[in-house]
Amino acid sequence: MNHENTPQFLVVGSGGRARRIAYMRRAPKPGTRRPGIVWLGGFRSDMHSIKAAHLDCYARESGCAYVRFDYSGHGLSEGRFEAGTIGAWLEESLTAVRVLTDGPQILAGSSMGGWLALLVARALHESGEAERLKGLVLIAPAVDFTESLIFARMSPASRAELAKTGVWLRASAYAPEPYPITWELIEEGRKHLLLGGMIRTHCPVHILQGMQDEDVPWRYATELAEHLFADPVSLTLVKDGGHRLSREEDLTRLSAAVAAMV
């Protein structure tokens, strides 16, 4: 059976924390020695997003292996979105890389996925697995977003609501209904903050950032590049680009950035 476009499931965690994570995996072209690609999606996004699907087409045409998956509480995976944390989604990302891939990989992370890609790179280096990574392509990377881009921007009234009820409903430009931000997401996210010091990936990094991005300001990307001063970093600023960077010209930039690392 061809599983390339059929969701499969991987169990992450154990006991009461076990959850089934949906993924799709494209096998490499026979005989190819090119690195594979792993897609790390954004907050409330899924593996069927425009950019994820575009990279699947690129992988098919280039012969690269490709893995994309849904975090718990997202898409086809088990779990409630409100129960999700950065630590849980990091565990799922690491498991996807360790279990579903073979050989060096390029992590392509969008928004929250950019933060997770950096955390995956750190974890792999700390466990002696740095050779698993060929490079990182980060699209509007929302590093430390729970603290710097959400909590720091909240009004006193919103913070009070969050502290009292444990949940704050945040309006979204991408959905008609507000989505819940939990106190657990904010508090647990503080265990994974990166911008307080030097960030190491031990591989090349290419950042794609729209200058009209209202969710992750473009100067945030330049700050990230400064913190990556010990690794090779390229930064592409798209003057008229928004947060999603999913227009045809943006997708061309994405596949070109991945191809340069391949």
CATH number, position 128: 3.40.50.1820
- Is residue 232 a part of any domain in this protein? yes
The one-letter amino acid at 236 = T
**Residues annotated as catalytic (active site), given as ranges:** 111, 213, 243
Separation CA 75–CA 14 (nearest Å)? 21
Give SS3 for 213. Answer: coil
Q: Which tens digits make up the pLDDT trace of 213-260? A: 999 999 999 999 999 999 999 999 999 999 999 999 999 999 999 999
Element (H, E) at 60: helix 50-62
Give SS3 for 49. Answer: coil
Give the predicted TM-score (pTM) of the model.
Answer: 0.95
- Is residue 34 a part of any domain in this protein? yes
- Is residue 119 a part of any domain in this protein? yes
Q: Which tens digits make up the pLDDT trace of 169-197? A: 988 777 788 889 999 999 999 999 999 99
- Is residue 2 a part of any domain in this protein? no
Separation CA 119–CA 125 (nearest Å)? 10
Separation CA 21–CA 90 (nearest Å)? 13
Pairing of strands 205-210, 233-238: parallel
Q: What domain range includes position 33?
A: 8-144+197-261
Separation CA 210–CA 195 (nearest Å)? 20
- Is residue 226 a part of any domain in this protein? yes
Confidence band, pLDDT 50/70/90 cuts, at residue 32: confident
Give SS3 for 139. Answer: strand
- Is residue 161 a part of any domain in this protein? no
Separation CA 256–CA 208 (nearest Å)? 11
CA dist 135 → 47, 60, 74 (Å): 20, 19, 25
Dihedral of alpha carbons 79, 85, 88, 90, sign: positive
Pairing of strands 36-40, 8-12: unpaired
- Is residue 89 a part of any domain in this protein? yes
- Is residue 3 a part of any domain in this protein? no
Separation CA 3–CA 7 (nearest Å)? 7
Q: Which tens digits make up the pLDDT trace of 35-89? A: 999 999 999 999 999 999 999 999 999 999 999 999 999 999 999 999 999 999 9
φ, ψ of residue 223 to 5 degrees: the values are: -65, -40
Q: What is the pLDDT of residue 6?
A: 87
Q: Which tens digits make up the pLDDT trace of 91-127? A: 999 999 999 999 999 999 999 999 999 999 999 999 9
Separation CA 153–CA 215 (nearest Å)? 11
Give SS3 for 38. Answer: strand
Number of domains forming the structure of the chain:
1
